[in-house]
Chain A
Amino acid sequence: MIETTTNWFAACRVEDAVENGGVCVKCGDDQIALFYFTRRNEWYATQNLCPHRRQMALSRGMIGSAGEDPKIACPFHKKTFSLSTGECLSGDECAIQTYPVKVEDGLVYIGLKN
């Protein structure tokens, strides 16, 4: 069995994040979109790139839910993706990468695979 260790990247302070919306986190050369649902007190992180037209845009999209599943809609063409699985909910054959998030002492961390 392969063990993977999670490297927790400190993204920002809780008050820097946008309530019920997203911010974009610079993580080396990568861009990660970080979303904060105050109503659920839940955090999600995904790649910032929308795979549909390859635009760095997901962090500027609108969050919401489909049933119980939290989702993000890209601001360009409103393609929606599940924040829990990364699956595209608009019927396209593309998915996005998701990352775990934790909050400790007022800091938000994004989990990257080593």
Chain B
Amino acid sequence: MKHKKVVIIGNGMVGYKFCEKIKTKSNDFSLIIFGEEPRIAYDRVHLSEYFNGKSADDLSLSSKDWYSEQEITLYLNDPVKEVDRSTKTVHSSKGITQEYDYLIIATGSAPFVPDIPGIDKEGVFVYRTIDDLDLIKNYAVHAKAATVLGGGLLGLEAAKALIDLNLEETNVIEFAPRLMPRQIDSAGSGMLQNKLSALGLNIYTNKGTSSIEGTDRISALKFNDDTELKTDMLVISAGIRPRDELAKLSGIEVGTRGGIIVNEFMQTSDPAIFAIGECALFDHNIYGLIAPGYEMAEVAAAKLCDDHKTFKGFDMSTKLKLIGVDVASFGDPFTTEPDARTILFEDSHKGIYKRINISNDGKYLLGGILIGEAEAYNMLLQTVNNKILLPDHPEDLILGSRGGGKQNENAGLAGLPDEALICSCEGISKGSICDAVSENNCESLDAIKKCTKAGTGCGGCLPMVKDLMVHTMKQNGKYLRNVICEHFHLSRQELYDLIKIHHLKSYEQVLDNLGKGDGCEVCKPLVSSLLASLWNDMILKKGNDTAQDSNDRFLANIQKGGTYSVVPRIPGGEITPEKLVVIGQVAEKYSLYTKITGGQRIDMFGAHLSDLPLIWEELIAAGFESGHAYGKALRTVKSCVGSTWCRFGLHDSVSYAIRIEERYRGLRAPHKLKSAVSGCIRECAEAQSKDFGIIATEKGWNLYVCGNGGSKPQHALLLVADTDSDTCIKYIDRFLMFYIRTADPLTRTAPWLNKMEGGIEYLRNVVINDSLGMAAQWELEMQALVDSYQCEWKTAIEDPEIRKRFNHFVNAPEEKDPTVKFDEMRGQKKATDWTLA
């Protein structure tokens, strides 16, 4: 059979999804894509993360390989400029003429730019593509204040991106009296405004912009109320306009206010031409969210394969995190008396606002708004969409059950019908997920993702998918435990106890006695960590070397390009000038990039595998030792300068930090451990953000535990006050051993405490009051670990068998990896960025 030619205009998320969908349905089509942007399709939903560490590659939805593997012809940087419907051909701007049997228009939308005097001044941007973001980023280098025009969903996303650029001032201007006027009500907007203001965003609502001031470049905005706001740049996010110009030009019917008119099969007025995504106008609506776009892609692909599917409009419910604040809006968020009754919850102390609208008879949920806390979103949305009967006290849905009554069975997952849509990005129902668990034995999130694609889009449904999996497995009579992986049907704590009781010393022994199969990348590092916590043998001892996690295996951190970084221990951040010179000399000799770390140490990057032993030989000769930056182990004990120099210092925080770092150096734990000591309440060492942190008081030391920086910062809690140096160390011994013994794999101390029943009170009882009677044993165990400490690098360079493994080629040990490449930046080297094909 001759392949039918399908030409897709637009290589955005929806155009890409169409290709993916049709390829899984049929091989009878040859696909040709014309994209306007120079890049392959990327994730526009998470665009703001581009300023937050993600590269353009990270945002890509696939690789160029994918297009060639799927035999899709891809023309980038080449928009179609003309469609000739009589000959069924398209002409691209670079002069390609291409015939089609079917044409898919997925041109998306363009930012709406209002006609304000001065809008063409330098420093005014739109927010849509990676190229736009690059322009913004480059301009922002010379800007102090930036302003976003538009306080809708996209505008606030753009504001987040600007905040990530660390400008002095970020403003948001909204014409309407409230933020996100299409999603939330004024009370919700008020709460959101308070939260965002606290995060440093200046918000102005009810502001009509009358002109943009400045000679060539923007310097200020003037408003209708004669006020003015100084700003160095402006990002416009005042809505979208469907890209329908090509359709209009070709005589295809478009709506009076824009958008290509489509029927329920996504067909335009020309039945061989389809429109999907933000350029399509269905039933007088433009759908500016990703989930309906994907659904349109599915419907169009199905139509081409003679598979009967129709587009029935789409729920515009949405949940997102705006600058760290949860915001959700679902069903009909605004309906009110006399059509419905509302239940409101407002807590301005915690910044939480919840509203649900229920039918007058109290039976059904119609919609609602959640600000500040949106955990209930998925469940509430399901309750609306599936018309689930409300419990007797519908307020429980947003307040939680407050004792007394029984839990309503139907309020949970069990009450959802099989057709309930769980993953709206991929259109996966509850039934399909349960089938994957029951019929295909998918018993992990990864397995379900692979089998059904649920959760592979925005990922927002994953908690619900997991709950469904657990629920289905329980229903099938499966005993569910928090087991490590398919090779060990034990929890981490059970395994810890068994290894100790049976006195097992190597990964192979543990697998032989307690596990099955060949192990994997989950259980190997976990068992290795347990063995190290229990026996403290050199981790690269034969038999254990290949069971170590990637970085532990080579006692260094693997970096982009396959080279490693080296971090010698600098206890308490104190270092002599002589040692600083040595680091400089070593870095120069092996041409390493150097950078000061967040933990008061020096990191040297770009070391070839075979140079690591040579580098360490020199460092060790100068008195350095391993910093364990590669391990789930104690990293660093940061300190402020303390009473030896500081006029405020109460005690010698540096000496105490060094004592603590040298005590716990090399200690392996379920996750990395960080610590700090501050010499007074000014807290310059930031001890309250550490796993254990110490602050000097008039009478001794305060010990804080279970703090965390990272993506979910959490302040450490006071465990004990005004204790002396020796007692404080005893408490830390007990605290750490309790953590090492009981925490789940890869769980930092903060989430470990969050899960602990009884919380800090219970922890204090165990550590300070010895309520478990374990204190003496734990102190002994810790002392044994302290006494058996050795510098892993010293052992490694002295053992020829271990040294042999630090070569790239087994059959050419003297050669380095020829594929390693560096670029130059600010007079140092940097790893060449990774490429996607």
**Cβ–Cβ < 8 Å partners of A18 in chain B:** 545-546, 805
Q: List CB contacts (< 8 Å) of A21-78 with chain B.
A: 21, 23-26, 31, 34, 37, 39-40, 51, 53-57, 60-67, 70-71, 73, 75-76, 78
Given A18-B805, A51-B65, A62–B486 Cβ distance below 8 Å? Answer: no
**Cβ–Cβ < 8 Å partners of A90 in chain B:** 446
CB pair B449–A37 under 8 Å, yes or no, is no
**Cβ–Cβ < 8 Å partners of B521 in chain A:** 61-62, 64, 73, 78, 80
Given A40-B518, A94-B65, A24–B809 Cβ distance below 8 Å? Answer: yes
Q: List 7 A-B contacts (CB under 8 A).
A: A24-B809, A56-B817, A64-B517, A65-B518, A67-B486, A91-B449, A94-B65
**From DSSP, what is the main secondary structure of chain B's interface residues?**
loop
Q: Which of B248-256, B291-299, B554-562, B773-781 contacts A (4 or more CB under 8 A)?
A: B554-562
B711 in the interface, Cβ–Cβ < 8 Å?
Answer: no
CB pair A25–B811 under 8 Å, yes or no, is yes
**Cβ–Cβ < 8 Å partners of B543 in chain A:** 19
B440-454 vs A, CB cutoff 8 Å, 1 = contact: the mask equals 000000100110000
**Cβ–Cβ < 8 Å partners of B519 in chain A:** 64-65
A17 in the interface, Cβ–Cβ < 8 Å?
Answer: yes
**Cβ–Cβ < 8 Å partners of B808 in chain A:** 24
A18 to B562 Cα, complex, angstroms: 19
Partner of B546, one of A11, A20, A26, A53: A20
Taking the closest CB of chain A, its distance from the CB of B644, in whole angstroms, is 43
A96 in the interface, Cβ–Cβ < 8 Å?
Answer: no
CB pair B811–A12 under 8 Å, yes or no, is yes
CB pair A54–B550 under 8 Å, yes or no, is no
Chain A CB within 10 Å, residue with most, of B486, B542, B546:
B546
Partner of A11, one of B805, B811, B834: B811
Taking the closest CB of chain B, its distance from the CB of A57, in whole angstroms, is 6
Q: List CB contacts (< 8 Å) of B132-186 with chain A.
A: none
Taking the closest CB of chain B, its distance from the CB of A88, in whole angstroms, is 10
B681 in the interface, Cβ–Cβ < 8 Å?
Answer: no
Q: List CB contacts (< 8 Å) of B781-822 with chain A.
A: 805, 808-812, 815, 817, 819-820
Chain A CB within 10 Å, residue with most, of B517, B549, B815:
B517
A93 in the interface, Cβ–Cβ < 8 Å?
Answer: yes
**Cβ–Cβ < 8 Å partners of B561 in chain A:** 55
**Cβ–Cβ < 8 Å partners of A55 in chain B:** 560-562, 834
Given A56-B562, A60-B550, A70-B518, A11–B810 Cβ distance below 8 Å? Answer: yes
Q: Please name the residue on chain B nearest to A23 by beta carbon.
A: B810
Taking the closest CB of chain B, its distance from the CB of A73, in whole angstroms, is 4
B204-219 vs A, CB cutoff 8 Å, 1 = contact: the mask equals 0000000000000000
**Cβ–Cβ < 8 Å partners of B562 in chain A:** 55-57
A70 to B521 Cα, complex, angstroms: 12
B524 in the interface, Cβ–Cβ < 8 Å?
Answer: yes
CB pair B810–A21 under 8 Å, yes or no, is no
B581 in the interface, Cβ–Cβ < 8 Å?
Answer: no
A87 to B828 Cα, complex, angstroms: 39
**Cβ–Cβ < 8 Å partners of B810 in chain A:** 11-12, 16-17, 23-25, 34
CB pair A60–B553 under 8 Å, yes or no, is yes
CB pair A21–B819 under 8 Å, yes or no, is no
**Cβ–Cβ < 8 Å partners of A56 in chain B:** 562, 817, 819-820
CB pair B835–A62 under 8 Å, yes or no, is no
B836 in the interface, Cβ–Cβ < 8 Å?
Answer: yes
A12 to B812 Cα, complex, angstroms: 10
Taking the closest CB of chain A, its distance from the CB of B452, in whole angstroms, is 11
Can you add 19 more A-B contacts, CB < 8 Å, to A20-B547, A23-B810, A64-B517?
A16-B811, A25-B810, A26-B811, A31-B819, A34-B810, A39-B518, A51-B65, A53-B836, A56-B817, A56-B820, A57-B558, A60-B550, A60-B558, A64-B518, A65-B487, A66-B486, A71-B520, A75-B558, A76-B550
B112 in the interface, Cβ–Cβ < 8 Å?
Answer: no
Q: Please name the residue on chain A nearest to B558 by beta carbon.
A: A75
> How many B residues have CB within 8 A of the partner chain?
48
CB pair B558–A64 under 8 Å, yes or no, is no
**Cβ–Cβ < 8 Å partners of A94 in chain B:** 63, 65
CB pair A26–B809 under 8 Å, yes or no, is yes
Chain A CB within 10 Å, residue with most, of B520, B549, B809, B810:
B810
Given A24-B809, A65-B518, A93–B62 Cβ distance below 8 Å? Answer: yes
Q: List CB contacts (< 8 Å) of B682-728 with chain A.
A: none
Chain A CB within 10 Å, residue with most, of B523, B543, B809, B837:
B809
**Cβ–Cβ < 8 Å partners of B546 in chain A:** 18-21, 62-63
B823 in the interface, Cβ–Cβ < 8 Å?
Answer: no
Closest 7 CB pairs of A and B: A21-B546, A75-B550, A64-B520, A73-B521, A65-B518, A23-B810, A26-B809
Given A25-B809, A54-B837, A65–B69 Cβ distance below 8 Å? Answer: no
B438 in the interface, Cβ–Cβ < 8 Å?
Answer: no
A residues adjacent to B (C-beta < 8 A): 11-12, 16-21, 23-26, 31, 34, 37, 39-40, 51, 53-57, 60-67, 70-71, 73, 75-76, 78, 80, 90-91, 93-94
A93 to B808 Cα, complex, angstroms: 28
A61 to B521 Cα, complex, angstroms: 9
CB pair B520–A60 under 8 Å, yes or no, is no
B77 in the interface, Cβ–Cβ < 8 Å?
Answer: no
A70 to B63 Cα, complex, angstroms: 26
CB pair B520–A53 under 8 Å, yes or no, is no
Partner of A62, one of B66, B524, B809: B524
Q: List CB contacts (< 8 Å) of B23-82 with chain A.
A: 62-63, 65-66, 69
Q: Please name the residue on chain B nearest to A55 by beta carbon.
A: B562
A60 to B543 Cα, complex, angstroms: 16
B456 in the interface, Cβ–Cβ < 8 Å?
Answer: yes
A67 to B835 Cα, complex, angstroms: 32
Given A55-B561, A94-B65, A73–B520 Cβ distance below 8 Å? Answer: yes
Q: Please name the residue on chain B nearest to A10 by beta carbon.
A: B811
Taking the closest CB of chain A, its distance from the CB of B201, in whole angstroms, is 34
Q: List CB contacts (< 8 Å) of B743-764 with chain A.
A: none
**Cβ–Cβ < 8 Å partners of B66 in chain A:** 93
**Cβ–Cβ < 8 Å partners of A31 in chain B:** 809, 817, 819
Q: Please name the residue on chain B nearest to A53 by beta carbon.
A: B834
Given A25-B811, A60-B550, A66–B520 Cβ distance below 8 Å? Answer: yes
**Cβ–Cβ < 8 Å partners of A78 in chain B:** 521
Q: Please name the residue on chain A nearest to B456 by beta carbon.
A: A91
**Cβ–Cβ < 8 Å partners of B525 in chain A:** 62
Taking the closest CB of chain B, its distance from the CB of A108, in whole angstroms, is 9
Q: List CB contacts (< 8 Å) of B511-550 with chain A.
A: 517-521, 523-525, 542-543, 545-547, 549-550
**Cβ–Cβ < 8 Å partners of B69 in chain A:** 93
A51 to B66 Cα, complex, angstroms: 11
Chain B CB within 10 Å, residue with most, of A12, A16, A93:
A93
Q: Please name the residue on chain B nearest to A95 by beta carbon.
A: B69
Taking the closest CB of chain B, its distance from the CB of A38, in whole angstroms, is 8
**Cβ–Cβ < 8 Å partners of B63 in chain A:** 94
Q: Please name the residue on chain A nearest to B518 by beta carbon.
A: A65
Taking the closest CB of chain B, its distance from the CB of A50, in whole angstroms, is 10
**Cβ–Cβ < 8 Å partners of B560 in chain A:** 55
Taking the closest CB of chain B, its distance from the CB of A85, in whole angstroms, is 15
A76 to B554 Cα, complex, angstroms: 13
**Cβ–Cβ < 8 Å partners of B62 in chain A:** 93
**Cβ–Cβ < 8 Å partners of A64 in chain B:** 487, 517-521, 523-524
A65 to B553 Cα, complex, angstroms: 19
Taking the closest CB of chain A, its distance from the CB of B433, in whole angstroms, is 16
**Cβ–Cβ < 8 Å partners of B446 in chain A:** 90-91
Taking the closest CB of chain A, its distance from the CB of B168, in whole angstroms, is 36
Taking the closest CB of chain B, its distance from the CB of A51, in whole angstroms, is 7
